[in-house]
Amino acid sequence: MAFQSTIDNDTVASLPAARFGGRIVVVDSAEQIESACNDLKQHSIIGFDTETRPSFRVGVSYKVGLLQLSTPETCYLFRLSHIRLDNRILKILGARHILKVGADVSGDIRSLHALRNFHADGFVDLQVEASRWGIEEKSLRKLSAIVLGMRVSKAQRLSNWEAEILTDQQCEYAATDAWVCVEILNKLQSTEPKSEPLKIISVAPQMATPQPQHHKHPRRRHRRPRHTTEE
């Protein structure tokens, strides 16, 4: 099966919508992290995405507000605007044996590094993998349309991801974005060519920029000449 290389917006809009049909769990307290991570650790491949509150003012930007990690049955929405990027979450993001599949994962990792410095490993980028099948499109919306024949809605993309309570529409949008990444990869890998191994992305912790050292020069002590009186 050959995939088309590009697709126009009108064709995408005519396709049926992709929707995650599993359980969505909003993780907004420290007490919920343990059970969520225990479930995620049982899977060898999970969907990955992040969401950030949009800024409509020049010079104003926000940090990542939501991290989505999805199994086939459950999508966990970690509200990073409400909870810390916990070490238990970082262990999953740094586990090479747990593949985290997303689109433009390097950009998402950079955003997460703004919250905490950590080692990211085991990531797979659909933008890289899809090119092996001759697909030129890079957006998740168009990758889903070409590979799955389903449209990923972007209606909630510019909503407030730091709101006190996420709406049902936001939760469904966020969960679908993460879940559909694995669906796309599975479909690609079931289609020729599939002999080339996945490119695993690993990002080392960011090194702190060394601060310039200002060395003080030792002050030279000037001895005052001793005056002696000759008798």
Q: Which domain holds residue 81?
A: 9-203
In a domain, 218, yes or no: no
Q: What is the pLDDT of residue 231?
A: 40
**SS3 track for 119-186:** CEEEEEEHHHHHHHHCCCCCCHHHHHHHHHCCECCCCCCCCCCCCCCCCHHHHHHHHHHHHHHHHHHH
pLDDT band for 230, please (50, 70, 90 cuts).
very low
Tell me the mean pLDDT in the region 129-146. Answer: 96
Match 């969505």 to its residue by tokens.
Answer: 24
In a domain, 61, yes or no: yes
In a domain, 3, yes or no: no
Can you give the CATH number for the domain in which 29 is found?
3.30.420.10
In a domain, 220, yes or no: no
Mean pLDDT of all residues belonging to the chain: 90
In a domain, 214, yes or no: no
Cα dist from 159 to 117, 144, 146, 210, whole Å: 27, 22, 26, 38
Tell me the mean pLDDT in the region 68-82. Answer: 98
| Exposure class string for 64-102: b at 16+ Cβ within 10 A, else e | bbbbbbbbbebbbbbbbbebebbeebbebbbbeebbbbb
In a domain, 49, yes or no: yes
Q: What is the pLDDT of residue 112?
A: 97
Cβ–Cβ < 8 Å for 36, 175: no
Task: Give the residue, 231 or 124, on which the prediction is more confident.
Answer: 124
What 8-state DSSP symbol labels residue 203? E
In a domain, 222, yes or no: no
Q: Beta partners for 74?
A: 23
81-130: per-residue pLDDT in tens? 999 999 999 999 999 999 999 999 999 999 999 999 999 999 999 999 99
pLDDT band for 220, please (50, 70, 90 cuts).
low
In a domain, 216, yes or no: no
189-211: per-residue pLDDT in tens? 999 876 689 999 999 987 655 55
Instruction: Report the domain count for the chain.
Output: 1
